[in-house]
Structure 1
Amino acid sequence: MGRRARDAQRPRRDTAVVRWLRAQPRWWPLAAVGLIVLVVVGWALWPEAEPEPRQREYRAETACLLTGAAGVAAPEARPVWTGMQDASLATQVKVQFLEVDGPQTGENAETFLASLVQSRCGVILAVGEAPVRAVGPTAARFPAAKFVAFGVATPGPNVVVEEATDPESVQRRARDVVAALASVKD
């Protein structure tokens, strides 16, 4: 006698789970599969939340600041840099600064101003004794560049001199210069 014939003659011993499954209506497996499909489709079609941007999106314009060796921490540079940052937050114009390294002379600062011109800064602000002294000769070499000197300097066709002394006025003027850069391209 074959194995199938022997198994057919033996009485079936169903476990409790098998008996319970046989007692259920015939549609329950289809309902379970349908529920699984519904959950998967719902998950796949659920709208994704917009990811938080990792960095600010800036405009194409850049405003640059040249400072003495102390950088933006210098008392005369701090309000200029703060005003530039305020305008950047409001207009998305990029702002950056560069410190004069080495001897604090006008001749040495001219090199740093020229590098900012080559960086395609839309406007270059200068604060501190050496950077302000370098504005005149550098502006003469680069007539298409725009300069703003915060201190005693000679105005020119591409040089604006800001002689404000109180920090609030200096900060406000720096903010206005950078904001104006944004409105030129609009």
Structure 2
Amino acid sequence: MSVALVVAVGALLTWVLWPEPESEPRAREYRDVTACLLTGASGVQSPEAAPIWSGMQDASVETLVKVQFLEVDGPQTAENAGTFLASLAQSRCDTVITVGDAPVAALQSIAPRFPNVRFVGIGGGASLDNVSVVEAGAPDDLRSVIRRLVTEMA
């Protein structure tokens, strides 16, 4: 009987002291709002795009707005960038931010075709009904401006 008691106590202690399983990481549930960035061939690593992308990511963490980026592949012309810009506008981006000469130049011909999408040109372009222009500035200032812009989408 004492062996049975020792086994029972051992089983009880094992059950009580057994570590809790680590909780499963929870998936982040994003809002149904997406901000997109169109850059030149250097992507988000370029000096002009890096603060924009950082500001978008900051806003995403705060508000759960989805953010994504796309690089213009091939010739860095307004015509070529226009195909990438139209692709973002058609892929459910609520706001498309453009940075770089070719992406910003493509705004004038593409933005009027997508009146329900908000476009932002960094450092150039002309304001249209659905296009805003943000002047290029110090990286920290740009990061703050873009974070605020994307946060307002939420």
Pairwise TM-score range, normalised by the shorter structure: 0.7 to 0.9
Which residue, out of 128, 152, 157, partners 2:100?
A: 128
| Aligned partner letter, 1:135 | L
Residue matched to 2:84: 112
Displacement, 1:32?
3.5
Quote the Cα distance in structure 1 between the aligned partners of 2:8 and 2:47: 71
Gaps of 5+ in 1: 1-26
| Aligned partner letter, 1:61 | V
Identity of aligned residues (%): 49
Q: Structure 1 segments of 4 or more deviating over 6 A?
A: none
Displacement, 1:168?
2.2
Residue matched to 2:138: 166
Which protein shows a greater Rg?
1
Residue matched to 1:84: 56
Which residue, out of 70, 74, 94, partners 2:46?
A: 74
Quote the Cα distance in structure 2 between the aligned partners of 1:79 and 1:30: 68
* Equivalence map 1:36-47=2 (5 Å): 36=10, 38-39=12-13, 42=16, 47=20
Residue matched to 2:110: 138
Gaps of 5+ in 2: none
Quote the Cα distance in structure 2 between the aligned partners of 1:87 and 1:105: 30
Residue matched to 2:34: 62
| Aligned partner letter, 2:143 | Q
Residue matched to 1:51: 24
Quote the Cα distance in structure 2 between the aligned partners of 1:111 and 1:130: 11
Quote the Cα distance in structure 2 between the aligned partners of 1:164 and 1:68: 15
Q: CA distance change for structure 1 residues 160 and 37 in 2, over 3 Å: closer, same or farther? A: same
State the number of aligned residues. 154
Q: Determine helix, strand or coil for the equivalent of 1:82.
A: helix
Can you list the C-alpha shifts for 1:113-152, whole angstroms capped at 9, x where unaligned? 1111122112110001110011121111111111111022
Root-mean-square deviation (CA, aligned residues, Å) is: 2.2
Which residue, out of 115, 119, 124, partners 1:147?
A: 119
Displacement, 1:43?
6.6
Larger relative contact order (CA 8 Å, sep ≥ 6): 2
**TM-score with structure 1 length normalisation?**
0.73
Residue matched to 2:72: 100
Quote the Cα distance in structure 2 between the aligned partners of 1:76 and 1:41: 58
Residue matched to 1:28: 2
Quote the Cα distance in structure 1 between the aligned partners of 2:73 and 2:85: 12
Q: Determine helix, strand or coil for the equivalent of 1:124.
A: strand
Displacement, 1:60?
2.8
Displacement, 1:34?
3.3
